[in-house]
Structure 1
Amino acid sequence: MYKAYWGMEFNPFEKSLSERDFFKSDDFTQAISRMEHLKNIKGIGLFTGLPGTGKTYTLRCFVNSLNPNLYKIIYITLSTVTVLEFYKAIAYGLGVEPYSKKIDLFKAIQERIISLSKDKKIIPLIMIDEAQYLKTDVLNDLKLLLNFDMDSKNYAILILSGQPLLNNILSKQIHDALKQRIVINYNYEGISKDEVNGYISSRLKLCGIVDEIFNANAVEAINSCCNGSTRLLNTILEKSLMMGYQKGLKVIDTEIVMSVQNEINLI
């Protein structure tokens, strides 16, 4: 009902929006450019940022831009696994028999990666989301798994995506060898104050609204409340519109935004 009240054709703040309608923030542009470079040089890329800053969405857009005939995509979201479970997850993704012994899995995975890259001209792209939860043993094995031809070749792309904690983990001496193999690194800053206003305007225009709904003070409050998180920004905007509809308002003000923020904090 609130969408009809504001004259919205659809909800422009939901995560299922098409990639063509996605707001191209500076974070998105910076991360995508680095992923494109990683595509050319292969190896390990590290992308970190606070929750809700768009890391997973960027990965999705990047994957959708790739030619499926040239890349084999393995996307792993369950990062709280043992070493053997991790190997099996990659094996399943590569279409390799999930042997029960780690040494057999290791050999089969490496052989499959080399075969895809050299014989079929297909680049394996392994993406690990929420990588800050990876166990130390798994991180130790990553540098071994991607060691080809006595560490002289890159036959695959590995993207580690996670929260800033991942940077702290990799800075430990035990992971120094893995960190040295990271060829691309980007940390998401989050949506900026200047971008918030443009984001709100572009999202509303997308669903057919041209009139100002959020006044300047409300936008300022929204920027402070979202703390750089696009996910939280979307939640605040949608709940503000719902509350504005319930109160019969024509413009969203600071009072509504702060009420929504208090409501969110109680969840």
Structure 2
Amino acid sequence: MYLQHFGLRHAPLGKDGKDLWDDGALAHLSERFNWLLQAPGVGLITGEPGVGKTAALRSLSDALNPHRYQVVYQPETDFGRLDLYRSLAGALGVEPSYRRAQLWRDIKQRIAEMVDGKQLLPVWIIDEAQNLPVEFFRYLPAFLNFAFDARDLVTVWLVGHPGLAQTLERAPYAALHGRIAARVHLRPVVERERFALLIGHALKTAGCQHTLLADSGMEVLRQASKGLPRIAGRILHTAMRLAVPKGLNHLPDDLLQQAIEELR
């Protein structure tokens, strides 16, 4: 209802948006992402919840040639490490064994067949990686060891909250830490000018043809969202819904405050 009322194609800062705003941060991530396509290895992406990690990776993954890369996206991380490998096996078309040793052998054989026989690189993206069991971090380097560790045949991206980086710096995970070839930390858009550009881009690409927010409203939104696109989007969506029954075609400051209260 509110999309039609405001003449929008999709929700600003919503999951349907494809044209992500970038003032350099996403270009940096894209460069590192391509590094690990050209030379497979382990990458680490951290950032606060709602900063846009998953949206950025989804955009990058969607652009990949499916004949050259097979992306396996795994957000369910609050399980045992054997379950994680069974999920990977299923995604690669391998019948998951209940024995870990056989499961590893089967997966690694399939990966080698994909790379050598089909020139197809597996890209394993593990979201919410801060929830992974610590044993997973300890033994992942052994799983990635191919041919006496002479070959790198799979790219793995660990994606999680900022604390994930500190976890991987601990001594028990030194082997994995030493394998990390690309690190990216995404930060909230807290600067006033940058935040205004973010919101302006989101509204324009959604189809908005007129000004919805006053400068004071933009500041209310910036402070309430703490520069996190997901939270800013939720506030905007709620405010638009509240505006419809009032017949408003803009979002006054008091309506934004009401939306913020609704979401608390």
Normalised TM-score (structure 1) = 0.90
Cα 1:251–1:75 change in 2 (3 A) is closer
- Asked whether 1:223 is paired with 2:222, we answer yes
- SS of 1:255's equivalent in the other structure is helix
RMSD between superposed Cα atoms in Å? 2.0
Correspondent of 2:77 among 79, 83, 98: 79
Change (3 A) 1:86 1:216: same
* Preserved contact between residue 217 and residue 253 of structure 1 (Cα < 8 Å): no
CA gap 1:126/1:237 in 2 versus in 1, 3 angstroms? same
Q: Letter of the aligned partner of 1:57 in structure 2?
A: A
CA contact (8 A) 1:27 1:190 kept: no
Q: Give SS of 2:156's match.
A: strand
The answer to which of 119-128 and 207-216 deviates more is: 207-216
1-structure distance, mates of 2:21, 2:223: 19
Judged with a 3 Å threshold, the aligned counterparts in structure 2 of structure 1 residues 87 and 127 are, in CA distance, closer, same or farther, namely same
* CA distance in 1: counterparts of 2:174 and 2:58, whole angstroms: 29
Q: 1:126 aligns with which of 115, 124, 127?
A: 124
- 2 CA distance for matches of 1:116 and 1:4? 46
1:18 Cα deviation from its structure 2 partner: 4.7
- Consecutive unaligned residues in structure 2, runs of 5 or more: none
1:203 Cα deviation (Å)?
A: 2.9
Give yes or no for contact 1:71–1:123 (8 Å, CA) kept in 2. yes
Query: Which secondary structure state, in structure 1, belongs to the residue aligned with residue 189 of structure 2?
Result: coil
* Matches of 2:166 and 2:258, distance apart in 1: 36
Query: Could you tell me how far apart the structure 1 residues matched to 2:80 and 2:25 are?
Result: 32
Structure 2 residue 238 is matched with structure 1 residue 254:
no
When residues 251 and 92 of structure 1 are mapped into structure 2, their CA distance, relative to the original with a 3 A threshold, is closer
Give me the whole-angstrom Cα distance separating, in 2, the residues matched to 1:115 and 1:26: 37
**Structure 1 residue runs without a partner (length 5+):** none
Q: How does 1:24-103 map to 2 (within 5 A)?
A: 24-103=22-101
Identity of aligned residues (%): 26
CA separation of 1:183/1:207 partners in 2, compared to 1, >3 Å: closer, same or farther?
Answer: closer
Aligned to 2:135: 137
Query: Is this contact kept in 2: 1:46–1:161, CA < 8 A?
Result: yes
CA-to-partner distance for each residue in 1:124-156, whole Å, 9 max, x for gaps?
111111111110111112111001222222111
One of 186, 189, 192 as aligned partner of 2:184: 186
Distance in 2 between residues matched to 1:28 and 1:109, nearest whole Å = 32
| Mapped contact 1:12–1:206 kept (Cα < 8 A) | no
- What TM-score do you get using the length of structure 2 for normalisation? 0.91
